Amino acid sequence: MRRIKLTIAYDGTAYSGWQAQEGCATVEETVADAIGRLTGVKPELTGASRTDAGVHALGNVAAFDTESPIPGDRFSYAINAFLPEDIRIMESEEVSTEFHPRFDAHCKRYEYHIVTGNVCSPLASRYAAHIRGELDIEAMAEMARHAVGTHDFTSFCAAGAQVKSKVRTITSLTVSKENGEIVIAVEGDGFLYNMVRILAGTLIQAGLHRFKPEQMETILAGKDRSLAGPTAPANGLRLCKIWYDGAGKGEEEE
């Protein structure tokens, strides 16, 4: 038996998230079906990040076991022939049978994209949240700095999370303007359910001067979801990259 690692990009608009669900179109089920059509055996696919409905990805990672003789680096081309245009296998390779996409992840990068102004282009609205008011990027960036480090992120976790610990480490959280969009970029060892979207929603509140930047410390210390801002819309979020170095980092729910 061989294990194949896939790097997957997708437009999440048409899907009810990554994780397979009965009666719903999901990325996991679509990719597994494509592999089954290719090899004759539908595999159990393990993903690194269970992205929510409507969330996009440039570099989610998954793995499956197979007895197919197809070379590891050729699976990407072969699987893509059976996939819809909004899902693509960007890379494939054979890895150790001990490799686990989620538990072996060392660091993950998400970006949240925002367009401001009275009107949002339909070309932008598919991949960015629209905020009609202007945002104070400096206030957002200042608030973001208070979240960097190891903290209990209970205040940034949606109800229903099934994890033992809500302590996570954010190594970088920045706010910048790129190509006319405001981009919130966060890197860390793992993320709770809806954590990045709640962080984005909270920073947006700072950008609208509804929160003061220093309130981040109070929100974290309170360990209460009601203290943080609203959950930002799914369409602005994208999983950009996952790094592996052999050191597993634990659970991921975003």
Beta-carbon count within 10 A of 165 CB: 12
Name the active-site residue from 52, 65, 73, 136. 52
Contacts of 45 (CB under 8 A, 6+ apart): 28, 31, 32, 35, 62, 63, 64
> 52 an active-site residue?
yes
Burial per residue of 100-112, b for 16 or more beta-carbon CB atoms within 10 angstroms, e otherwise: ebbebbebbbbbb
Round to whole Å and give the CA distance between 137 and 160.
Answer: 32
- The SS3 call for residue 28 is helix
- Residues annotated as catalytic are 52
